[in-house]
Structure 1
C-alpha cells in the first residue's frame, strides 16, 4: 500500500498547493489556508452555530484537579492515530516502529511540560468515531488526532486553541471523472469517516453520491485501492499524506471548508485546557525556529508545502 516517500512527495505537491491542476507554473506554493482563501466561493461550507468556536480559555500553568491527577499517575494518556501518515503513524524506519508524526511531537511537548519527560505518555490508538467518547469516559486525558474544532463538538468536549489549519477536499484516483465537491459526485461511492467533518458535509449536501462510512479515515484509502469506493472526502492535510502513500490518487477541486485542529479534552478539565494553551504559546514562539515550525518542516513540509506559520490563537473571556 505504501510507496516510497521520495517519489510520491513530488506528486502530491501540485494538487495540494494549487487549487486546480492547470495553475500557471511558477506560482509560489500555498498552504491549505491560502488555497482555501483563493478558491472560488464554494457551493456549500460548514455552518457553525456559535461564534468563534476556535476561541479557548486563556493560558495558565496553575495546577488544578486534572493536572494533579495526571501528575499522580505519572503518565499522560493521549488518544492518537497510528495510521495517519506524517501526523500520527507507526514509523517503520524508526527503532521498534515507534509512533511518529506532527501530532505525536505535540503530545510529547505537553507531556514534557506537565511531567518533565516527553516520554511519560501512554498512547492509545482510537478510531475517529471514538475520539469524543474516549474523553467523556475518561479513557484518555487528551486527544491529539487531527480533530477539527467546531460548535457541535464543543457541546461534548473542550478544545485548546487551534494548532493547524486545514480544509475538506476530495481525493480520487488519477483519471477519475470526479472533479471535486460538486455534481461530478453523482452516483459515486464516496467514503468518509464516522464522526468526521466530511460525514457532516455529505449529510448536508451529497450531490447525489452514495456515502460509505468507515470507523477510521485510513480505511477509506484501503477501500479506494480495492475499488470498493470511487472517492474520499477528508481534510486535505490528511489527504496529502495519503497521496504520498499512494501515487495513484490525487486531490481534486478546491478545499470547500476552512477548519482548525485543536487538542481535545474533557469539558471539566479547564485547568488542563489552560495548561495545553500555555504549552501551545511556547510551541508557536520563535518564528521560523519555533518548535511548531521545526515539527512542520520535519513531518509535513514534504507533503504539505507552503505553510509559513501556525494559526494565531484566539481566546475568550474568563
Structure 2
C-alpha cells in the first residue's frame, strides 16, 4: 500500500437524533433497475462493425485504457517488472486483441476512482476497466459494456474490531470510502452521519486501507471483490456480514462510442465462451479462486436492449 493520493474529506459526525435503522436481511439484494424499468446492466448487442470510435483506435494502432494500479488481484503492478496484471488486465488484453489483433499495443493509464468518468468524457482514455460498477446514475454520463463480473458493497474492519455492521457498533467511529464510488453513495443513502458515524472519503479505496491500518478509520466500505484483495494482502483485516448490494462490473466508454461498446461486447462473448474452459474461468482461477468464497463462479448472463 501507498500513502493517500489526495486530500481526505471528512464529514463531521453529528449527535444521533433518529432511531437507528436495521440492517437488510441476509441474502442477495436485488440488482438495481433504472427509472425506465430496465436492468441496470443492459447493453448493446455485440457486433464486429467498425465505426468512428473503432477507427480512431485503429488509426492510433493502440488502445488507451484507464485501469487501477493498486487493486491486488484485479489491476496492479508487479513489484519485479512493473507490469500491469490482474483479472481486469486479462480482460483488457482480450478486448485489445478483438480490436487490433494478436500482440496488440495497450497504453495503460492508472486512474483514481474519482477521475474515471471525467477522463472518459474528455476522451483521455478509450475505456476504463477498473472494477467499475454499472449504475443508473453513471449510465447518464458514460456507456457500459455488458456485465463481466458481479460483486457487492462489503464492510471491512480490523480483525479484532467489535464492529458488527453499519449500526451502533460504529457510532462515534469513522467509515471510509472512495470519492464518487458506489460505496460512498451507499453510505449517503443510509445517512450514516445521522447515527453518529463519521464519513471519510479518499481518492482510492486503497487509501482507506491505509487509514484503517493507521487507526484513523474504524471501517471501510468497498466492493466485496476488492475487499478480497485487501484481505489477501493484509490478513489483519476481515469482512463483516454479507454484501450489502449486488453490483455488476462493466467496461465504461464514452456515451457516443456505440460501435466500441458493441465491439467490447463481442470481445466479452469470446472471453466468457466455453463454460468452465473459458478465458474468464482461467483468469478467475489464476487471480480470484483462492480469495473469494464462490462455489460456482461464472460470468453474469449478458442482457441486451436491442
The one of 189, 214, 238 aligned to 1:204: 189
CA contact (8 A) 1:169 1:180 kept: no
Name the residue aligned to 2:253. 265
The offset of 1:183, in angstroms, is 3.2
Name the residue aligned to 1:6. none
**Correspondence list, 1:285-296, <5 A:** 285-296=273-284
SS, match of residue 242 in structure 2: coil
- Give TM-score scaled by structure 1 length: 0.84
C-alpha distance in structure 1 between counterparts of 2:114 and 2:205, whole Å: 10
Runs of 4 or more off by more than 3 Å in structure 1?
44-50
Name the residue aligned to 2:60. 73
Which shifted more, 221-230 or 47-56? Answer: 47-56
The offset of 1:86, in angstroms, is 0.3
Name the residue aligned to 2:19. none
C-alpha distance in structure 2 between counterparts of 1:41 and 1:186, whole Å: 26
1:276 is the counterpart of 2:268:
no
Name the residue aligned to 1:256. 244
C-alpha distance in structure 1 between counterparts of 2:170 and 2:244, whole Å: 14
**Correspondence list, 1:9-20, <5 A:** none
CA contact (8 A) 1:109 1:279 kept: yes
Unaligned runs of 5+ in 2: 3-23
Q: 1:177 to 1:46 in 2, by over 3 A?
A: farther
C-alpha distance in structure 2 between counterparts of 1:261 and 1:41, whole Å: 16
Q: 1:52 to 1:162 in 2, by over 3 A?
A: same
Q: 1:91 to 1:310 in 2, by over 3 A?
A: same
1:116 is the counterpart of 2:101:
yes
C-alpha distance in structure 2 between counterparts of 1:173 and 1:252, whole Å: 10
Name the residue aligned to 1:10. none
The one of 53, 63, 67 aligned to 2:40: 53
Q: 1:99 to 1:40 in 2, by over 3 A?
A: closer
The offset of 1:195, in angstroms, is 0.6
C-alpha distance in structure 2 between counterparts of 1:290 and 1:92, whole Å: 28
The one of 161, 168, 180 aligned to 1:195: 180
The offset of 1:58, in angstroms, is 0.5
CA contact (8 A) 1:135 1:265 kept: yes
Aligned-pair Cα RMSD in Å: 2.0
The offset of 1:204, in angstroms, is 1.1
C-alpha distance in structure 2 between counterparts of 1:281 and 1:192, whole Å: 33
C-alpha distance in structure 2 between counterparts of 1:191 and 1:46, whole Å: 23
Unaligned runs of 5+ in 1: 3-36
C-alpha distance in structure 1 between counterparts of 2:76 and 2:104, whole Å: 16
The offset of 1:125, in angstroms, is 0.3
